[in-house]
Amino acid sequence: MRKRCGFEQRMVDEYLNATGDPDRVWRDKSAAREAGYCDVPVPPGPLTSMQMEGGSPSAYMPEQAHLRGAVDGGGEWEFYLPVYIGDVIFTTREFLSVNERRGKLGEMIINTFNVTYRNQRSETVAKGRWSTIRYTAQG
């Protein structure tokens, strides 16, 4: 599954206001240049949330359509190049595995994916591995 997202300063400002991040490097070109960037970079948070677009995994995993909702099971990312305001990022999600396990809330299905993030120049800017947890219990 492939997703596309263009990063605008307004989107980044909303993220920074929501998280309370005071670092001027994310908003101010001079601060960004002083920190070694060629322009205002995008913080990693909005980038890593791109793989969650589209809601429930049922959209691309019809065999799990009977399950309700999904929660973030965690992830890890590697960043290779900065993403700047104005960049367009494309994500490609690759399904790796599905595992079943018993947890405090009942039977869990854990889906794991690899995600590759590329910019409009087809440069790989980041890679990640991410999991969702779905519960089989009704309620």
Separation CA 104–CA 112 (nearest Å): 20
Output DSSP code: residue 65: T
Of all residues in the chain, the percent with pLDDT exceeding 90 is 43
Better-predicted residue by pLDDT, 132 or 123? 123
Is 87:42 a contact under the CB 8 Å cutoff? yes
What's the pLDDT at 58?
Answer: 55
The pair of three-digit structure tokens given for residue 124, joined into one six-digit string? 């790989």
How is the chain split into domains, by residue range? 2-135
1-5, 18-22, 25-29, 108-112: least confidently modelled range? 1-5
The pair of three-digit structure tokens given for residue 39, joined into one six-digit string? 């322009």
Calculate the CA dihedral of residues 82, 51, 122, 120 and round it to 10 degrees. Answer: -70
Element (H, E) at 47: helix 44-48
Is 91:3 a contact under the CB 8 Å cutoff? yes
| This prediction's pTM | 0.80
Domain 2-135 coded CATH 3.30.360.10: no
